[in-house]
Structure 1
Amino acid sequence: AIDPPLILLDEPASNLDTEGKAIAAQLITKALASHKTLVIASNESWETEYATHKINLS
């Protein structure tokens, strides 16, 4: 099984419906619970709620 310590996500829920976004949120939560490092590039405010550090590229 693949078990990377770092996961890069580029707008992971940008083309998902409500159910798909809920699944994405569950997967992000599961990855964080497993002490993974996630880098999320997003314009969605709900995706940035998981962040402990944020970089705003305005």
Structure 2
Amino acid sequence: MDTFWKDLEAAAEARDADALTELMRAAAHDGGNGEPLGIRYDAARSARNNVDKYAEN
């Protein structure tokens, strides 16, 4: 079962930068499960960037 989106949501809510980085790495090597190429990577990168912005403030 594909849990990418649930994992992404949980990591983003927890502001877990390491987990988000791992999701980015996995997404870069994943076929996207039928989704447009790069959508998972972009979503994980966006969440990771938000964690960085939150940490700066």
Q: Which structure's residues are more often strand, by fraction? A: 1
**Normalising by the residue count of structure 1, what TM-score does the alignment of the two structures yield?**
0.34
Higher helix share: 2
Q: Which of these two proteins has the greater Rg computed from alpha carbons?
A: 1
